[in-house]
Amino acid sequence: MMRKIVIFFTFFATFIGICRASYFVETDTVDVVRYYGEGFEPSGYDVASGDSVITYSGTFKFKKLNSNDSITFIVDFQPINTASQLCSVIISGDKKLMTKQDTVISLSAISDDPMDFYKWYALEDEDNDNFIGDKTLDNIKVTVHPNDTAVYILETMKEEEDNLVYNGDFEEGNKGFWTQYNYTTEAHGTGYDKGLGPEGRYAVGENPKYYHQNFCDYSASDYDKMLIANGSQGVDKIVYAATFDVEPHQNYIVSFDASTVAPCSTSELPRLQFSVTGEKLGDVFTTNSTNCVWDQYYQIWNSGDDTTATITILNQNTNTSGNDFAIDNITLRKMCTSYDTIIIINDIKLYDTIDVAICEGEAYDFNGEDKTETGEYTAALKTANDIDSLVTLNLTVNPVYEIHLDTTICDGDYFIFNGQTISQQGDYKSVLKTEKDCDSVVYISVNVIATQKVSIEEEIYSWQDYYFNDEKMSHSGTYTANLKNENGCDSIVTLNLIVNDKVYIDKDICQGEEYVLGDNILTKEGTYYDTLKAANGNDSVVVLTLRVRDVMNDTIFATISEGTVYTRQGFEETQSGTYTHENTSIYGCDSSLVLVLTVVKDEQVWVPTAFTPKSDNNNEFFVIIEDENVVSEYLRIYNRWGTIVFETTDITQKWDGRYKGEVCDQGVYMYDLIYHVKGFEAKSYRKSGNFMLLN
């Protein structure tokens, strides 16, 4: 059911004399807040646009019936859920008023359905809400001064019927909550450790007297079961706690009944406090000093952005004496909250400010002119009662956006884009609304990743473990698994697994060494077999190919020229003699290398760089001049095409520059000479080069 509150005013002149009629003037703008689903239809006006009822937020110009006068309403619709619609409040009578002197105003309101809480505020500025009264709708008196504007806010709240607390009356026993106290079902009996004798214990029952001999007797009470506690010494000890689902940005009232159950002094009275999700809420409550008298304690809490809340009752008295209490009827109920705002202007001249937002490309009609740019505009107007009114327009032009997005999905997946289900690759477009209600064109490019197929070839031995898709494989075969690739898309992986039951080993040993295979000691080359059992119980056949490598010993005979160094096979020698190196072969076997080195004097062989076959007795032969100890093995001469034009084994023989009886063409020719030194026939020398034949 919709509840309706009507706010009305009574004015009192504060000066002495005859009071004339006060001025009640409507300005040219009125701010209105409405909830979705209600609609807004101002009495006595037609909507200039032709609509009869406004159902969406915006700025609307209304025309007075049977008159050309108009007024602008700024209507702000706020969303509420279905449950909240039952407690929303429609408040009529919003007006801007004008008087010419100090005026005492009595603010009052009526409601079709009484509320549980009422609060009035005087809004002094944006950051200062001045509380002026509560728990009443009537007789809130305020004074409005000349040349001043006063804004007053009425906040009303009413508890909803649904209690979110399960077993808040404890009629189902010790369930539905947690506590830092220790639970007992014992009667007080005899002795300190019986019933609720020690601090920090609690029970759930009908009569405190049953659990402690000094506690009061509730046997005649209308209360049934309750939580009975001997207060703990620890401050902030949790007596009761439970977690509930809540709606964000809603007011809730949390309450419980409590009483003192044992005689105690004022300082020993139980003191309790609410906490919501770890934050203390409100002041500490002190229970009634009279035993067995119940009082209700409550706090108002706003959920903010929270969707869950942990409601806690904390013990804040640390006395060991007294501090004994019972609690019952724990509730958490949502509050239906509504507001109304009254604006009173006490000025002969009316000032008004209009805040308007439009979208880029739109225009706003202000005093007959279209405004299209962000800025502040001022116009001097007249109200319907011919009162001067200075109107300021704060115009904001919000941008229209064009957004380009890229996204990737897997083959077979889809996503929702502005109500459209998209599963195929391509480019898509949608027109959305920004938070400022302006168009926003969104382009999205969708890339679809195809399902990948991967093949794996693996070969293991029978004693090895191989895991595929978190499963251990021990047999040859083909296996398939659906996995996720680096893009998070499906990947079909096929494993071709070969499990070998034979192990092939190639081994080299040196002559004189041994190799152990199973129980056998091997020293000769050959192929050997053995059967092993792995840790996983699988037999394997070992096939060994054994090679025996010789220990190598060798002697090198070498000749070098005097003044040179022999640097082969790791030697670095300059004098004649015998040298020995101990080396290791490529198979890791020891080897001995002996160098017999002979150093001889270098013999000179001179080769001319040019000759002229056609000259007369003047360098007309190509001849090599040699030492008497030099013995040639062969001499060859080539033309530039590689043709042998002269060869001999006697380098003393001269070449006359002819080939097949004809003098060769002028040009560059190459020679290749191999010779040795007498006494060192095992060592040959080679000399190559080129020379010019000149005609």
Asked if residue 639 and residue 674 are part of one domain, the reply reads yes
> Average pLDDT for residues 443-466, to the nearest whole number?
80
The per-residue pLDDT for 94 is: 44
* C-beta contacts of 488-491 below 8 A and 24+ residues apart: 488/410, 489/410, 489/411, 489/449, 489/451, 489/452, 490/410, 490/411, 490/412, 490/451, 490/452, 491/451, 491/452, 491/453, 491/454
Asked if residue 7 and residue 148 are part of one domain, the reply reads yes
Identify whether 496 is part of a domain.
Answer: yes
Structure tokens at 612: 């002229």
Q: Higher pLDDT residue, 39 or 264?
A: 264
Q: Higher pLDDT residue, 372 or 469?
A: 372
SS3 362: coil
| Residues in contact with 373: Cβ distance below 8 Å, sequence separation at least 6, in sequence order | 395, 397
Asked if residue 189 and residue 325 are part of one domain, the reply reads yes
Asked if residue 542 and residue 637 are part of one domain, the reply reads no
Q: Is the pTM of this model over 0.85?
A: no
Asked if residue 110 and residue 145 are part of one domain, the reply reads yes
Most confident listed range (100-104, 227-231, 233-237, 542-546):
227-231
Q: Check pLDDT > 80 for residue 428.
A: yes
Q: Check pLDDT > 90 for residue 274.
A: yes
Give the phi and the psi of residue 534 in degrees, each rounded to 5: -80, 170
Residue 617 exposed, middle or buried by CB count within 10 Å (0-12, 13-18, 19+)? exposed
Identify whether 167 is part of a domain.
Answer: no
Asked if residue 324 and residue 212 are part of one domain, the reply reads yes
The proportion of the chain whose per-residue pLDDT surpasses 70, expressed as a percent, equals 72
The predicted-structure confidence for 302-343, as pLDDT tens digits, reads as follows 998 999 999 999 999 888 888 899 999 999 999 887 766 666
Q: Mean pLDDT lowest for which of 141-145, 418-422, 643-647?
A: 141-145
Q: How confident is the model at residue 133 (pLDDT cuts 50, 70, 90)?
A: low
- The CATH number linked to 204 is 2.60.120
The per-residue pLDDT for 314 is: 95
Asked if residue 490 and residue 474 are part of one domain, the reply reads yes
Identify whether 363 is part of a domain.
Answer: no
Q: Which range of residues forms the domain containing residue 438?
A: 401-449
Q: How confident is the model at residue 242 (pLDDT cuts 50, 70, 90)?
A: very high
Asked if residue 612 and residue 559 are part of one domain, the reply reads no
> Average pLDDT for residues 116-143, to the nearest whole number?
65
Q: Higher pLDDT residue, 670 or 346?
A: 670
Identify whether 365 is part of a domain.
Answer: no
The predicted-structure confidence for 173-232, as pLDDT tens digits, reads as follows 999 999 999 999 998 877 777 889 888 999 999 899 999 988 988 875 556 899 999 998
Distances (CA, A) of 211 to 181, 218, 228: 15, 12, 8
> Average pLDDT for residues 254-280, to the nearest whole number?
92
Identify whether 405 is part of a domain.
Answer: yes
Asked if residue 152 and residue 139 are part of one domain, the reply reads yes
Identify whether 171 is part of a domain.
Answer: no
Asked if residue 262 and residue 191 are part of one domain, the reply reads yes
Asked if residue 495 and residue 515 are part of one domain, the reply reads no
Number of domains in the chain: 7
Can you tell me which residue has the tokens 């009264």? Answer: 133
The per-residue pLDDT for 455 is: 86
The predicted-structure confidence for 548-567, as pLDDT tens digits, reads as follows 887 777 787 777 767 778 87
The predicted-structure confidence for 10-44, as pLDDT tens digits, reads as follows 433 332 222 222 222 233 455 555 544 455 566 55
